[in-house]
Each structure stands twice: as structure tokens, then as C-alpha cells.
């Protein structure tokens, strides 16, 4: 008996990174290594606004084109069943096709979980007792939270700094100058803890709002249906959480650099003479806290995200536009 030709189709970006190394996938029952011949293709095959059946039909069309016996699609999009529940996978054994939703894996240990899931999908459809068409929903009420967490982690918010390089440079320059300005010393000393905390929250929130507006990251429903509104809410929530984590990490990095600068150039005694009171190194931490908030606003506003890659990484809606354009080109 010859090997089974398996097609593995993955969305660009994160799904491609995860599914690409799966070409050496073998059955889990210890069968011969040549039992599966896996061929990998990176291209979009579905849209968030489409029904799961459309994605399965499109995957089967690709399987016929390439001569595959089975085809598995790996997508970064959340999938929903007819009952509104979020799905881990959708399987159509009659078409020899299945689609796996990476966000439903929850965002942690995704590579290992995705590999196990793809092996299980291929093994199930390649077996003698193929199940009827089925959907694999997420259990419990935490399905939406798990999908949302998976979407945010798929966006890799810790890489957002790559799209904010010019903003970070400007903020660092602003902070370096503000740190040695006596007026800033007076302002920082006059603020209570809750005002400093409020300044931190406000500076991060304003920068996030500016990035959303400048990058046109806010998603709007395609129509007035409940599914379209829920999809937009999910996309927008994941974008805001991604930006919050990314900007907060940039804020922490800015604080650490400014703190090191303040400890290098400022003597607490000089600070105390200017303030007319005794000052210690603890006051440098407070000063840096205020400077980080001011520098975040002064350096970041007006710069926005400086590359399309950064915009796509931050928002599902932008990657959805790219998928829509590429699928439209395929139809031409």
C-alpha cells in the first residue's frame, strides 16, 4: 500500500511558522515513516466572514489541484459553529478535509498542541472507520476567553517594539532631557502616588488610541448580523489587548533605561538642594516614573507604527484585509 498524500495548507504569518515544520509528521501508532507524505503550502484559504463549509470546500479544491488524498487547513482565525460555539476544528471526511483553528489552542505550547491536533486529524480521516462530518467545539463557558488569549498571543505583542522604533528613540531622547530639567524635578516631587499611577495609565491609553487611529486598526462589521458584530468585537478586543501589552512593555523598557540614566547623571544631594529637602535614591525612582509617562506621550505621539508588518502583527482586521485581497486575486 502506497503512502497517503497529505496537504497541509496554512495561513501566512503565525500559522505558517507553526505548520511549516510538520512536513515530517508520521502516524502516532508506530507505522512506517513513509506512511504519510506531507506537502506544505502557505496561502490564505478562508476569511473570518465565511462559513466553515466554504473553507472546507476551498481546501478540497486545493487538494484536487495538487493531487492530495487528505488536506488539513491551519488558520489563525477563530471558527464558530452553527450554534455559536467556538470550534477547535471542523472535519468533513467525505471531502477528506479538515480545518484547525490555532486560537482555540489557547496560546500556550501551541506548536506541540497543533502538531498533536494535526496528527489526530490526519489519523482520523485516514483510518478505516471515518466519522461523519463533525465540529469539535471548545468545552465550557471559557471558550471565548481561550480564543481571545490565543489571538493575543498569536499577535506576539512583545514584538510590537519593532514597529515603534522611531517612537522609542524619540521617547528616550525626551526622557534624557527631561531627567536633568529642574522643573520636572519639582513636578515629580509634587505628585502623589495615585497621580503618578494615573499619568502612567493615561499615557499608555493615549498612545494606544493614537496607534489605532493612525494605523486604522479598528474593525467594523461587514453587515448588521449578530455574527459580524461579534467577530468585530473579538478582533477589536484582541487588538486593544495586544497594543496594551506591547505599549506597556515599551513603557517598562523606557522606565528602566531612564532610571539607569538618572542614577548615572543625578546626585540625590543635587536633587535635594533644588527641591529644598533631603532626597535619596528613592526619589530618583519617583522622578523616573513621571519622566517615563511624560516621555511616552512626548516621544510617541505623531510617530505611530512605522511599518505595514507592525500593523498586520497588531491587528487581525489588517491581516483579514490581506487575506481578502489575495483570495480575490486567486479568483481572477
**Domains of the chain, residue spans:** 4-142, 155-331
Q: How much is the pLDDT for 310?
A: 62
The predicted model scores a pTM of: 0.83
Under the banding of pLDDT at 50, 70 and 90, the label for residue 252 is very high
The pLDDT assigned to 127 comes to 67
The tens digit of pLDDT for each residue in 272-296 reads 877 777 777 888 899 899 999 988 8
User: Could you tell me if 157 and 243 are in contact, meaning their C-beta atoms sit under 8 angstroms apart?
Assistant: yes
pLDDT digits (tens, 9 = 90+) for 215-234: 778 888 877 778 788 888 98
Model confidence at 320, pLDDT cuts 50, 70, 90, reads low
Domain 4-142 has CATH 3.40.50.1980: no
Asked whether residue 33 carries a pLDDT value surpassing 60, the answer given is no
pLDDT in tens, 65-112: 999 999 999 998 888 887 778 889 998 887 789 999 999 988 788 899
Give the per-residue pLDDT at 332: 44
Task: Give long-range contacts, CB 8 A cutoff, 24+ apart: 250-255.
Answer: 250/160, 250/161, 250/164, 250/167, 250/168, 250/296, 251/200, 251/203, 251/204, 251/292, 251/296, 253/161, 253/168, 254/168, 254/171, 254/172, 254/175, 254/292, 254/295, 254/296, 255/288, 255/289, 255/292
Place of cell 513636578: 187
Which of 67-76, 162-171, 210-219, 293-302 tops mean pLDDT? 67-76
Amino acid at each position: 500500500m502506497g503512502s497517503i498524500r497529505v496537504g497541509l495548507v496554512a495561513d501566512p504569518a503565525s500559522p505558517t511558522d507553526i505548520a511549516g515544520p510538520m512536513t515530517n509528521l508520521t502516524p502516532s501508532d508506530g507505522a512506517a515513516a513513509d506512511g504519510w507524505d506531507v506537502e506544505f503550502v502557505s496561502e490564505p484559504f478562508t476569511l473570518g466572514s465565511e462559513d466553515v463549509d466554504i473553507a472546507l470546500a476551498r481546501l478540497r479544491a486545493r487538494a484536487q489541484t495538487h493531487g492530495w488524498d487528505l488536506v488539513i487547513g491551519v488558520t489563525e482565525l477563530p471558527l464558530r459553529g452553527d450554534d455559536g460555539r467556538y470550534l477547535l476544528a471542523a472535519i468533513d471526511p467525505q471531502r477528506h478535509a479538515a480545518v484547525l483553528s490555532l486560537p482555540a489552542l489557547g496560546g500556550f505550547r501551541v506548536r506541540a498542541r497543533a502538531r498533536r491536533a494535526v496528527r489526530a486529524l490526519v489519523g482520523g480521516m485516514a483510518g478505516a472507520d471515518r466519522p461523519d462530518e463533525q465540529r469539535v467545539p471548545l468545552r465550557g463557558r471559557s471558550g471565548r476567553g481561550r480564543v481571545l488569549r490565543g489571538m493575543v498571543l498569536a499577535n506576539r505583542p512583545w514584538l510590537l517594539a519593532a514597529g515603534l522604533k522611531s517612537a522609542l528613540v524619540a521617547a528616550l531622547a525626551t526622557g534624557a532631557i527631561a531627567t536633568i530639567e529642574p522643573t520636572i524635578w519639582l513636578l515629580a516631587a509634587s505628585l502623589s502616588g495615585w497621580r503618578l499611577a494615573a499619568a502612567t495609565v493615561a499615557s499608555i491609553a493615549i498612545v494606544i488610541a493614537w496607534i489605532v487611529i493612525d494605523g486604522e486598526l479598528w474593525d467594523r462589521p461587514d453587515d448588521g448580523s449578530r455574527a459580524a458584530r461579534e467577530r468585530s468585537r473579538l478582533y477589536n478586543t484582541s487588538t486593544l489587548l495586544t497594543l496594551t501589552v506591547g505599549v506597556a512593555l515599551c513603557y517598562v523598557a523606557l522606565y528602566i533605561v531612564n532610571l539607569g540614566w538618572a542614577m548615572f547623571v543625578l546626585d540625590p544631594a543635587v536633587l535635594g538642594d533644588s527641591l529644598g529637602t533631603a532626597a535619596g535614591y528613592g526619589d530618583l525612582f519617583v522622578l523616573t516614573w513621571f519622566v517615563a509617562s511624560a516621555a511616552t506621550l512626548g516621544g510617541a505621539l505623531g510617530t505611530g507604527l512605522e511599518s505595514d508588518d507592525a500593523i498586520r502583527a497588531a491587528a487581525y482586521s489588517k491581516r483579514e484585509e490581506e487575506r481578502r485581497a489575495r483570495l480575490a486575486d486567486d479568483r481572477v
